[in-house]
């Protein structure tokens, strides 16, 4: 996936929307900040996700943190490969390291997310 084509949430999650389906993962910045990822607690299929709330929990050698859902809807698929190999997120956060696919309740939430330029400015500001 090309990071330029994604939408971004301020909690460092990305979304690739196709119709009402939203593939979600964490950004390269997030995986780099976390360090080596050692475990991910994936959501269950059919879990109701709410924008701004925890979708999954991720553990690294540095910290445990939440993956915040950037959109609302129902989890229809999770990346089972991450259960055995969470380091895939470190290796390919925008590709094989996706976390879940959500069937969105309403695509208007995408309009509230940042594009790549806004996200990069946001990260720069946050780093200050």
Predicted TM-score of the model (pTM): 0.94
Question: How many residues in total does the chain contain?
Answer: 128
Q: What is residue 66's predicted lDDT score, i.e. its pLDDT?
A: 96
- Stretch 60-82: mean pLDDT, rounded? 96
Nearest to 29, CA basis, from 84, 94, 110, 102: 94
Mean of all residue pLDDT scores within the chain: 95
Coil, helix or strand for 39? strand
- Supply the CATH number for residue 107's domain: 2.40.50.100
Q: Are 104 and 22 contacting, i.e. CB atoms less than 8 angstroms apart? A: yes
Phi first, then psi: what are they for 84, rounded to 5°? Answer: -95, -25
Q: What is residue 128's predicted lDDT score, i.e. its pLDDT?
A: 77
Full domain range(s) for residue 59 = 3-127
Structural domain total, the chain: 1
- pLDDT by residue (tens digit) across 31-70? 999 999 999 999 999 999 999 999 999 999 999 999 999 9
């Amino acid at each position: 996936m090309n990071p330029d084509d994604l939408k971004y949430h301020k909690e460092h999650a990305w979304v690739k929307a196709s119709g009402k389906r939203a593939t979600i993962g964490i950004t390269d910045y997030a995986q780099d900040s976390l360090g080596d990822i050692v475990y991910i607690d994936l959501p269950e299929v059919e879990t109701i996700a709410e924008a701004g709330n925890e979708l999954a929990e991720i553990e690294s050698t540095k910290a445990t943190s939440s993956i915040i859902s950037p959109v609302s809807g129902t989890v229809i698929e999770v990346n089972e490969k991450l259960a055995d190999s969470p380091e895939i997120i470190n290796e390919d956060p925008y590709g094989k390291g996706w976390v879940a696919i959500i069937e969105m309740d309403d695509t208007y939430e995408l309009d509230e997310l940042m594009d790549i330029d806004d996200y990069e400015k946001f990260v720069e500001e946050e780093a200050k």
